[in-house]
Amino acid sequence: MMENETRMKKIAFDPSTIWCKLSELRLCMLIMEHKPVGEERSVKMISMFQGLNKIRDDEHPSVKLFLSGM
C-alpha cells in the first residue's frame, strides 16, 4: 500500500454550510426529548428523523426565533 493511500483524507466540505443553526438546535432538542438509547433505540431514531423533516405549530420558543427571520 502506498503511503498516500493510508493517510486520512481531509473533509472536502464545511459542515456549517450543510447544517444551519436551526437544524442543529432542533437535532439537539430531539436528542434530549427522545434519548435514543436502549432497546427502543431504532424506534426513537426514526421519531427523531421524522421530527427533523417537519416544522410543527408547537415549536419550542428558541426555535421560533430562527423561524421568524429575526
Give the pLDDT of the chain (70 residues) as one tens digit per residue.
455 555 556 656 666 667 777 778 888 888 888 888 888 899 888 888 888 777 666 667 777 666 666 5
Q: What is the pTM of this model?
A: 0.55
44 vs 48: CA distance, rounded Å: 6
**pLDDT score, position 54:** 76
